Amino acid sequence: MSRKIRIRKGRMAIFLLVIATLAAAISMNVYFYIINQPTELREAVSEVEGIPVITDFIPVETKERPGQKRRIQYIVIHETGNPGRNADAASHNNYLHEEAENQQKSWHYTVDANEIYYHIPDNEIAFHAGDGLDKDGGNVRGIGIEMCINPENDFEQTLINTAKLTAMLLTAYDLEIDSVKKHEDFSGKHCPDLLLSTGRWDEFVGMVRLELKTE
Protein backbone atom coordinates (compact mmCIF):
# COMPACT_ATOMS: atom_id res chain seq x y z
CA MET A 1 0.00 0.00 0.00
CA SER A 2 1.43 3.38 -0.92
CA ARG A 3 1.94 5.93 1.83
CA LYS A 4 -0.58 8.31 0.20
CA ILE A 5 -3.36 5.75 0.29
CA ARG A 6 -2.56 4.88 3.89
CA ILE A 7 -2.83 8.54 4.91
CA ARG A 8 -6.11 8.89 3.00
CA LYS A 9 -7.52 5.81 4.73
CA GLY A 10 -6.43 7.14 8.08
CA ARG A 11 -8.15 10.46 7.43
CA MET A 12 -11.30 8.70 6.28
CA ALA A 13 -11.37 6.65 9.50
CA ILE A 14 -11.02 9.79 11.62
CA PHE A 15 -13.72 11.53 9.56
CA LEU A 16 -16.13 8.59 10.03
CA LEU A 17 -15.39 8.47 13.75
CA VAL A 18 -16.16 12.19 14.09
CA ILE A 19 -19.42 11.77 12.15
CA ALA A 20 -20.44 8.75 14.27
CA THR A 21 -19.68 10.62 17.51
CA LEU A 22 -21.65 13.65 16.37
CA ALA A 23 -24.59 11.47 15.31
CA ALA A 24 -24.56 9.70 18.69
CA ALA A 25 -24.40 13.02 20.57
CA ILE A 26 -27.26 14.48 18.51
CA SER A 27 -29.49 11.43 18.94
CA MET A 28 -28.82 11.38 22.71
CA ASN A 29 -29.82 15.04 22.89
CA VAL A 30 -32.95 14.42 20.84
CA TYR A 31 -33.78 11.49 23.15
CA PHE A 32 -33.33 13.57 26.31
CA TYR A 33 -35.25 16.44 24.74
CA ILE A 34 -38.17 14.11 24.02
CA ILE A 35 -38.24 12.39 27.44
CA ASN A 36 -38.06 15.77 29.20
CA GLN A 37 -40.84 17.41 27.20
CA PRO A 38 -43.83 18.01 29.46
CA THR A 39 -46.83 15.86 28.68
CA GLU A 40 -49.73 17.77 27.18
CA LEU A 41 -52.56 18.09 29.70
CA ARG A 42 -55.76 16.14 29.07
CA GLU A 43 -58.90 18.21 29.41
CA ALA A 44 -60.47 17.87 32.89
CA VAL A 45 -63.42 15.47 32.92
CA SER A 46 -66.54 15.81 35.08
CA GLU A 47 -66.94 12.07 35.62
CA VAL A 48 -65.21 8.73 35.16
CA GLU A 49 -67.77 6.06 34.28
CA GLY A 50 -70.44 7.73 36.38
CA ILE A 51 -68.18 8.66 39.32
CA PRO A 52 -68.23 12.47 39.71
CA VAL A 53 -64.85 14.21 39.36
CA ILE A 54 -64.67 17.59 41.10
CA THR A 55 -61.85 19.76 39.81
CA ASP A 56 -60.71 22.24 42.46
CA PHE A 57 -57.10 23.14 41.76
CA ILE A 58 -54.80 24.33 44.52
CA PRO A 59 -53.53 27.86 43.69
CA VAL A 60 -50.42 27.75 41.56
CA GLU A 61 -47.01 28.92 42.83
CA THR A 62 -47.69 27.66 46.33
CA LYS A 63 -45.55 25.18 48.26
CA GLU A 64 -47.92 22.36 47.40
CA ARG A 65 -48.18 23.34 43.73
CA PRO A 66 -45.07 25.03 42.30
CA GLY A 67 -46.52 24.61 38.80
CA GLN A 68 -43.50 22.85 37.32
CA LYS A 69 -44.50 20.91 34.18
CA ARG A 70 -43.05 17.46 33.53
CA ARG A 71 -43.42 14.33 31.45
CA ILE A 72 -45.84 11.79 33.01
CA GLN A 73 -44.46 8.30 33.43
CA TYR A 74 -46.24 6.76 36.45
CA ILE A 75 -49.51 6.57 38.31
CA VAL A 76 -48.56 6.35 42.01
CA ILE A 77 -51.13 4.72 44.30
CA HIS A 78 -51.46 5.72 47.96
CA GLU A 79 -53.83 5.43 50.87
CA THR A 80 -54.53 8.48 53.05
CA GLY A 81 -53.76 6.51 56.21
CA ASN A 82 -56.34 8.81 57.81
CA PRO A 83 -58.88 6.82 59.86
CA GLY A 84 -60.66 9.94 61.18
CA ARG A 85 -64.43 10.22 60.83
CA ASN A 86 -65.43 11.97 57.59
CA ALA A 87 -61.84 11.91 56.31
CA ASP A 88 -63.24 11.59 52.81
CA ALA A 89 -62.14 13.04 49.47
CA ALA A 90 -63.87 16.41 50.08
CA SER A 91 -62.20 16.84 53.46
CA HIS A 92 -58.76 16.06 52.00
CA ASN A 93 -59.44 18.63 49.30
CA ASN A 94 -60.18 21.23 51.99
CA TYR A 95 -57.05 20.22 53.87
CA LEU A 96 -54.85 20.67 50.76
CA HIS A 97 -56.35 24.11 50.10
CA GLU A 98 -55.88 25.23 53.71
CA GLU A 99 -52.26 24.08 53.83
CA ALA A 100 -51.20 25.16 50.31
CA GLU A 101 -48.63 27.68 51.55
CA ASN A 102 -47.49 25.70 54.56
CA GLN A 103 -46.34 22.29 53.37
CA GLN A 104 -44.55 20.63 50.51
CA LYS A 105 -46.93 17.68 50.58
CA SER A 106 -49.52 17.27 47.85
CA TRP A 107 -51.00 14.91 45.28
CA HIS A 108 -53.28 15.01 42.24
CA TYR A 109 -56.44 13.07 43.15
CA THR A 110 -58.28 11.86 46.24
CA VAL A 111 -60.79 9.04 45.75
CA ASP A 112 -63.55 7.80 48.06
CA ALA A 113 -66.53 5.54 47.42
CA ASN A 114 -68.68 8.39 46.05
CA GLU A 115 -66.48 10.89 44.26
CA ILE A 116 -63.06 11.95 43.08
CA TYR A 117 -61.36 15.29 43.80
CA TYR A 118 -58.81 16.57 41.29
CA HIS A 119 -56.36 18.92 43.06
CA ILE A 120 -53.37 19.52 40.77
CA PRO A 121 -53.13 19.28 36.94
CA ASP A 122 -51.78 15.90 35.84
CA ASN A 123 -48.77 17.35 34.03
CA GLU A 124 -47.39 19.24 37.07
CA ILE A 125 -45.18 17.84 39.81
CA ALA A 126 -46.56 17.22 43.33
CA PHE A 127 -45.04 15.90 46.56
CA HIS A 128 -46.43 12.51 47.51
CA ALA A 129 -43.79 9.86 46.74
CA GLY A 130 -41.19 10.91 49.32
CA ASP A 131 -38.37 11.11 46.77
CA GLY A 132 -37.87 14.89 46.50
CA LEU A 133 -36.97 16.13 43.04
CA ASP A 134 -35.37 12.91 41.79
CA LYS A 135 -35.64 13.52 38.05
CA ASP A 136 -37.06 10.07 37.28
CA GLY A 137 -38.90 9.66 40.59
CA GLY A 138 -42.49 9.45 41.71
CA ASN A 139 -42.90 13.15 42.53
CA VAL A 140 -41.40 14.42 39.29
CA ARG A 141 -42.82 11.74 36.96
CA GLY A 142 -45.92 10.44 38.76
CA ILE A 143 -49.59 11.29 39.14
CA GLY A 144 -50.39 10.74 42.85
CA ILE A 145 -53.74 9.17 43.78
CA GLU A 146 -54.83 8.91 47.43
CA MET A 147 -57.53 6.39 48.41
CA CYS A 148 -59.64 7.19 51.48
CA ILE A 149 -59.68 4.64 54.29
CA ASN A 150 -62.02 6.37 56.77
CA PRO A 151 -64.24 3.82 58.55
CA GLU A 152 -67.64 4.92 57.22
CA ASN A 153 -66.32 4.88 53.65
CA ASP A 154 -66.80 1.75 51.50
CA PHE A 155 -63.19 0.75 50.77
CA GLU A 156 -64.14 -1.91 48.20
CA GLN A 157 -66.01 0.71 46.15
CA THR A 158 -63.06 3.09 46.60
CA LEU A 159 -60.79 0.44 45.06
CA ILE A 160 -63.13 0.07 42.07
CA ASN A 161 -63.30 3.86 41.60
CA THR A 162 -59.51 4.14 41.83
CA ALA A 163 -59.05 1.32 39.29
CA LYS A 164 -61.37 3.16 36.88
CA LEU A 165 -59.55 6.48 37.35
CA THR A 166 -56.15 4.79 36.94
CA ALA A 167 -57.25 3.05 33.73
CA MET A 168 -58.61 6.33 32.37
CA LEU A 169 -55.27 8.08 33.08
CA LEU A 170 -53.20 5.26 31.55
CA THR A 171 -55.26 5.54 28.37
CA ALA A 172 -55.22 9.36 28.34
CA TYR A 173 -51.43 9.50 28.60
CA ASP A 174 -50.64 6.44 26.52
CA LEU A 175 -49.03 4.50 29.40
CA GLU A 176 -48.77 0.74 29.95
CA ILE A 177 -49.99 -1.22 32.98
CA ASP A 178 -46.45 -1.38 34.41
CA SER A 179 -46.64 2.40 34.92
CA VAL A 180 -48.96 1.70 37.88
CA LYS A 181 -46.76 1.97 40.98
CA LYS A 182 -47.10 1.93 44.73
CA HIS A 183 -45.75 4.73 46.87
CA GLU A 184 -43.47 2.05 48.35
CA ASP A 185 -41.70 1.66 44.99
CA PHE A 186 -40.19 5.15 45.34
CA SER A 187 -39.39 5.74 48.99
CA GLY A 188 -39.94 2.43 50.74
CA LYS A 189 -42.87 3.78 52.80
CA HIS A 190 -45.44 1.05 53.53
CA CYS A 191 -48.11 2.63 51.33
CA PRO A 192 -50.80 1.83 50.19
CA ASP A 193 -50.82 0.25 53.62
CA LEU A 194 -54.09 -1.76 53.62
CA LEU A 195 -53.52 -3.17 50.14
CA LEU A 196 -49.98 -4.23 51.04
CA SER A 197 -50.83 -5.65 54.48
CA THR A 198 -53.63 -7.75 53.05
CA GLY A 199 -51.59 -8.91 50.03
CA ARG A 200 -54.02 -7.32 47.56
CA TRP A 201 -51.70 -5.21 45.41
CA ASP A 202 -51.70 -7.66 42.46
CA GLU A 203 -55.47 -7.90 42.72
CA PHE A 204 -55.72 -4.12 42.39
CA VAL A 205 -53.44 -4.09 39.33
CA GLY A 206 -55.66 -6.85 37.88
CA MET A 207 -58.70 -4.60 38.42
CA VAL A 208 -57.00 -1.80 36.49
CA ARG A 209 -56.09 -4.24 33.70
CA LEU A 210 -59.71 -5.35 33.48
CA GLU A 211 -60.89 -1.73 33.27
CA LEU A 212 -58.45 -1.13 30.42
CA LYS A 213 -59.96 -4.06 28.51
CA THR A 214 -63.52 -2.90 28.97
CA GLU A 215 -62.84 0.75 28.08
* Span interacting with Zn ion, options 41-49, 63-71, 98-106, 183-191, rule CB under 5 A: 183-191
Composition of the chain by helix, strand, coil, percent to 5: 45, 15, 45
Question: What is the distance between the alpha carbons of residues 41 and 173, in angstroms, rounded to a whole number?
Answer: 9
Closer of 50 and 199 to Zn ion (Cβ): 199
* Residues 190-209 interacting with Zn ion (rule: CB under 5 A): 191
Closer of 29 and 80 to Zn ion (Cβ): 80
Closer of 78 and 92 to Zn ion (Cβ): 78
CB of 126 to Zn ion, least distance (A): 12
Closer of 119 and 183 to Zn ion (Cβ): 183
Contact track, Zn ion, 67-86, x by CB under 5 A: -----------x--------
CA distance readout (Å), 55 to 108, 154, 206: 10, 22, 27
CB of 204 to Zn ion, least distance (A): 14
Determine, following the binding rule CB under 5 A, whether residue 182 of this chain makes contact with Zn ion.
Answer: no
Question: What is the distance between the alpha carbons of residues 67 and 88, in angstroms, rounded to a whole number?
Answer: 25
Residues 6+ apart with CB under 8 A from 119: 56, 57, 58, 93, 96, 106, 107, 108, 109, 110, 126
Closest C-alpha among 150, 85, 144 to residue 119: 144
| Residues at the contact surface with Zn ion, assessed by CB under 5 A | 78, 183, 191
